[in-house]
Structure 1
Amino acid sequence: MELVVGASKDTMKSLLGKMGNLLAQEYALISGVRGDVQFINDELASMQAFLRDLSAVPEDHSHDHRMKDWMKQIQFIAYT
């Protein structure tokens, strides 16, 4: 019986060590992209604000080339 308990303890110790390593690797991956996710979120919020501002501009004043270019870029990103 003692042999079975000892083997089970060793197996659990090995399993816990491997799981701990995997969790540490996963945490490192998640932590590494956290800044990227925040950057993307901020960029999308800026794009949304730009589109709201653009929709408030009267039709005859929407001839700004910068606005048209930004709009094309946002459309391209949205569809890719």
Structure 2
Amino acid sequence: MELTTVSIGKSVLNGALGYAKSAVAEEVALQLGVQRDKAFITDELEMMQSFLMVAHDERDENNKVVRTWVKQVRDVAYDVEDGIQDFVVRLKKKKSWWHIPRTLLDRRHGAKQMKELRTKVEHVSQRNLHYGLIKGSSSTQPTATAAAAALFGVDEARHAAKQHQARSDLSRLINE
């Protein structure tokens, strides 16, 4: 009877350990992917901002599909800027030994947020490919001109970029 109880206990313990190992492995993979996702998102944000500036310079208000796509790019760019700011602020907090659990939760939240932002950026990019909104890099093509022309609010994007820099400076000052 005792051997059966010990055997059942070992089985339960082995199952729990296996689950814990897989959960730890998943968490480590999530944390390791954060920097890669952040780098990808930052590069994509730079491309989105460049695209939006070109779109402002070559405005054509007749192509509603392209105008909608430009609006979506602009919205995702705002989300990315906000997400990166939040990520930086969360990870720059002063750390002490009693805040370790909170720091781990902040890192997990940041990692999930980076994954979500990367997915959003990829979906917007796939929309361009799916609908063939921009068919080349030549500015003489009408599709590129229409895509660039559909933007309203580049000034907002520039203002948001300036605010982002100011917030970064402020968070750096607060955390020092």
Structure 2 counterpart of 1:63: none
Q: Does 1:29 align with 2:29?
A: yes
Structure 2 counterpart of 1:53: 53
Give TM-score scaled by structure 2 length: 0.31
Residue deviations 1:19-55, cap 9 Å, x none? 1111111111111110111111111111111111001
* Bigger helix fraction: 1
Structure 2 counterpart of 1:19: 19
Structure 1 counterpart of 2:99: none
Structure 1 counterpart of 2:9: 9
Q: Distance in 2 between matches of 1:32 and 1:19?
A: 20
Larger radius of gyration: 1
Structure 2 counterpart of 1:65: none
Higher relative contact order structure (alpha carbons within 8 Å, sequence separation ≥ 6): 2
Give TM-score scaled by structure 1 length: 0.61
Structure 2 counterpart of 1:78: none
Q: Aligned in 2, Cα 1:6/1:55: closer, same or farther, shift over 3 Å?
A: same
Q: Distance in 1 between matches of 2:26 and 2:50?
A: 36
Instruction: Note the aligned Cα RMSD (angstroms).
Output: 2.1
Q: Distance in 2 between matches of 1:32 and 1:53?
A: 33
For residue 51 of structure 2, give the secondary structure of its aligned residue in structure 1. Answer: helix
The AA in structure 2 aligned to 1:35 is: Q
The AA in structure 1 aligned to 2:6 is: G
> Which 4+ residue blocks in structure 1 deviate beyond 6 angstroms?
none
Q: Distance in 2 between matches of 1:7 and 1:58?
A: 74
Give how far 1:12 is off. 0.7
For structure 1, list consecutive stretches of 5 or more residues without a partner in the other structure.
60-70, 73-80
The AA in structure 1 aligned to 2:20 is: G
Give the fraction of aligned pairs with identical amino acids, expressed as a percent: 8
Q: Distance in 2 between matches of 1:43 and 1:5?
A: 57
For structure 2, list consecutive stretches of 5 or more residues without a partner in the other structure.
60-135, 138-176
